[in-house]
Amino acid sequence: MSYLTPSLPESDITMEGEHPAVTNFRNYIRINTVQPRPDYASCTKFLKKQAEDLGADFQVVECVSGKPIVLMSLQGEDPSLPSLLLNSHTDVVPVYPEYWKYDPFSAYKDEKGDIYGRGTQDMKCVGIQYLEALKCLKKEGLKLLRNVHLSFVPDEEIGGVDGMAQFVKTEVFKKLKVGFALDEGYANPTEKFTVFYGERAPWWVFVRCPGQPGHGSQFISNSAGEKLRKVINSFLNFRDQEQQKLKEHQDLHLGDVITLNLTMLQGGVQFNVVPPELSVGFDIRIPPTQDLGKLEEMIKKWIKEVGEDVTYEFQKKDMCQKLTVAEDGKNPWWDAFSQACKVEDIQLEKQIFPASTDSRFIRELDIPALGFSPMNRTPILLHDHNEFLNEKIFLRGIEIYTTIIPALANMKM
């Protein structure tokens, strides 16, 4: 079945002549699940209707009150086999409406078929693509060997602490018997499609610099500002080195180097008072190839050089560096995935995910997982103003999943 040139009964086409899968996608975008106050209740109601349309078992798990994990399940012919998990998150990041062409929760579609809205790329598109692909497979009568589960999880955009991180610890998750998982990737502006087999570990470091206070008209020795400058210089000099490494080596991607950014500054009461303390926060993303112990020793050295009273603490310190084997002949799940992509005539570009996703909680359990969002010829706009996805790219993604999902669910090993 071609989703790009649908042949559907007249009753299945909207008044605009829009494909019903696109209408479904746009309705999902219109549900405002923006952090920090996502409308999870409306989202769960919407997803329950999706499960009914699919004919899937439906349940809601709340590891943390008010933060629902929605599960849908389709039983395979041999439920004893490890299952396939199709994961997506329901929350989206904040918006600045004044910088958008259209209301970011209107799912406006322009004359080119570009659908604008927060979550069009990250990652409500993928959740709907899973569902629509499974509807298509079911309509065609295709039998699946393994159980297929869809999870729609909360709070990924704020670290997943109350979402997937808690869910993987539950008996409900264990009973799913997940053997392999698909999760989010991101767009690729070229003809290629990006697939992620690992991701960088996020470290959020907060450094406190105490110092001698005094009047703003004096040369105060041992001030917090002097110490803060030294700390910032050490961290940002290292940032420059990593950025230069990326520029000089054409074979490296962003996920192959350490990124470091100054993201927070705190302190001070008024202009004419030298404060007793100033603090700075850094967001560091570390590839799996980096020795985490050596990196922390380097941070300790920078801090110690500034002064014994300067301290640091981690607001986040992810130590997971597990990778999914993505080489032909070495991982049957990878073989099934990559062969399905060849059937669809798509060229994959393998990378380490530069940020972090819920896949890390799955890989920590030694369950292989790949990050894949079937969006090529599309600018990378996750978390950006005017996030959009073209409807033809969206529909093509459904076609791709109608090949990938059965390839994985019917894999024999």
Total residues found in the chain within this entry = 413
Residue with tokens 């209301």: 103
CA pair distance 103, 122, nearest whole angstrom:
17
Let me know: does 264 contact 280? Beta carbons within 8 Å. yes
**106 phi, psi to nearest 5 deg:** -95, -15
> What is the distance between the alpha carbons of residues 27 and 24, in angstroms, rounded to a whole number?
5
Catalytic residue among 91, 122, 157, 387: 91
CA distance 295 to 201: 12
State how far the Cα of 251 lies from the Cα of 245, in Å rounded to an integer: 11
> Residue 348: what are its φ and ψ, rounded to 5°?
-95, 145
Catalytic residue among 156, 199, 358, 391: 156
CA 360 – CA 165 distance, rounded (Å): 9
Residue 41, SS3 per DSSP: helix
Using alpha carbons, select from 220, 224, 240 the residue that is nearest to residue 279: 224
384 is catalytic: no
How far, in Å, CA of 397 to CA of 128, rounded?
10
Let me know if 52 is a catalytic residue. Answer: no
**Contact present, 205 and 264 (Cβ < 8 Å):** no
82: three-class secondary structure by DSSP? coil
Provide the edge-to-edge strand list for the sheet that holds 277-286: 259-267, 277-286, 201-210, 311-317
Tell me how far CA of residue 198 lies from CA of 283, 357, 364, in angstroms: 19, 10, 11
Residue numbers annotated as active site? 91, 156
